[in-house]
Amino acid sequence: MTFKLLDHESVPYHEIIAGEEVSVLLEKYAIDKEQLPKIRFDDPIVLEIGAKIGDVVKITRKSQTADEAFYYRLVIDAVV
């Protein structure tokens, strides 16, 4: 049996988003993809979900005030 990070209660849900959802996100905040916060390609959670360099990862965290809060990260090769 293999341990999965996403199965742990302390790890928020991570998913790769693409296409239209990325476009809507960038338009909403009037930013370029490269202006998103970064996450390295070798981060254990990135490896687990199979994200590649250039993908946008959506992180869904539980929030006491808003039920759920969404965060976005751009997968990069190395810290810039």
Q: What is the pTM of this model?
A: 0.86
The 10s digit of each residue's pLDDT in 51-64 is 999 999 999 998 88
pLDDT bucket at 1, cuts 50 / 70 / 90: low
Query: 38-40 and 67-76 as β-strands: parallel, antiparallel, unpaired?
Result: parallel
The 10s digit of each residue's pLDDT in 62-75 is 888 889 999 999 99
How many other β-carbons are positioned within 10 Å of the β-carbon of residue 64?
6
Enumerate residues 6+ apart whose C-beta is below 8 A from 25.
Answer: 17, 56, 72
Instruction: Please name which of 23, 34, 47, 39 lies closest in space to residue 75, comparing C-alpha atoms.
Output: 39
Ordered by start, the domain boundaries in the chain are 12-76
Sheet strands (E) in the chain: 13-17, 38-40, 56-63, 67-76
- Residue 26, pLDDT score: 97
- CATH number for 12-76 (one of 3.90.940.20, 3.40.50.720, 3.30.470.10, 3.30.300.30): it is 3.90.940.20
